[in-house]
Amino acid sequence: MWRWLHPYAKPEATYRLNQKMLPWFAVPGIVVLAVATIWGLAFAPADYQQGDSYRIIFTHVPAAILSMGLYMTMATAALIALVWQIRTAEWAILAIAPVGAVFTFISLFTGAVWGQPMWGTWWVWDARLTSQLILLFLYLGVMALYAAFEDERTGAKAAGILALIGVVNIPIIHYSVYWWNTLHQQSTITKVITRFEKPSMAPEMLWPLLLNILGFALIAGTLVILRLNNQILQREVRRPWAQAILSGAIPASQAANTGAANTEERG
């Protein structure tokens, strides 16, 4: 069942796959995010209660969703690294963690900016806000543990264990607005996707929000791919294939095709 993972135990194979995927994340991500942001900020109607201040959701909601999604992706990489001892999965943990931390910080910052006029305060120890803050600390903890050991494999193992333990916080973040009486509103997107309920948002507000979520996801994928490729090249710098790319003998954009051709020749 898991044999598809085996080829990507080789850093070169992972690098080639990343190079193939990169344009499919970067180009659509930039286009979708630009269109959705302009649509949401300039053309979506004002909210009848919050006025134009609600428009921060076009950044806040995608960042909050991606902060949790990236953590689950990082935890999956940690599980693969711990069970199958795949080095590229260990490097993926370090590639994802800073990106997830930035998205988590954006969600907290935009939430504070949005909460000030709505709640009359920048911060409350609300269940959703507190659990989201814990998520930021988990990301920072994973990065700190990774760098805390002289032996890289030991650091990766410790970071992976923390990432897996921290998964328990994800359902707490999601269900906090249902389990406790909080100031934070319940998720409109979740109701639409999981319960097939009619959205409470007007379509002209909902569609740019959904597109922004897609755009943020594609940009997050782009950043993770770039970071992982950098991690691979740093650690494989002595390998002939990596030296060829770093020296410019093989352009990075052609690495995927070149690698595939070399594989066919070896076969």
Kindly list the domain boundaries of the chain, sorted by start residue.
11-258
CA count, 13 A, side-chain hemisphere, 20:
11
CB 215 within 8 A of CB 33: yes
User: What is the per-residue pLDDT for 191?
Assistant: 55
> For the chain, what is the mean pLDDT?
88
3-state secondary structure of 197: coil
User: What is the per-residue pLDDT for 11?
Assistant: 94
User: What is the per-residue pLDDT for 122?
Assistant: 85
pLDDT of 123 higher than 50: yes
What number is the average pLDDT over the span 191-209? Answer: 71
Euclidean distance between CA atoms 38 and 31, whole angstroms: 11
Stated pTM of the model? 0.89
CA distances to 70, 140, 225, 238 from 218, rounded to whole Å, are 12, 23, 10, 31
CATH (residue range 11-258): 1.20.120
User: What is the per-residue pLDDT for 213?
Assistant: 96
User: What is the per-residue pLDDT for 261?
Assistant: 43
Angle of helix 57-84 versus helix 203-235 axis, rounded to 10 = 40
pLDDT of 151 higher than 80: yes
pLDDT of 196 higher than 90: no
pLDDT of 194 higher than 80: no
User: What is the per-residue pLDDT for 260?
Assistant: 43
What number is the average pLDDT over the span 49-70? Answer: 93
Interior CA angle at 142 toward 210 and 231, to 5°? 80
pLDDT of 267 higher than 60: no
Give which of 82, 126, 74, 79 is closest to 101, Cα–Cα.
74
User: What is the per-residue pLDDT for 6?
Assistant: 72
What number is the average pLDDT over the span 216-220? Answer: 98
CB atoms within 10 A of CB 247: 8
Euclidean distance between CA atoms 165 and 247, whole angstroms: 41
What number is the average pLDDT over the span 35-45? Answer: 95
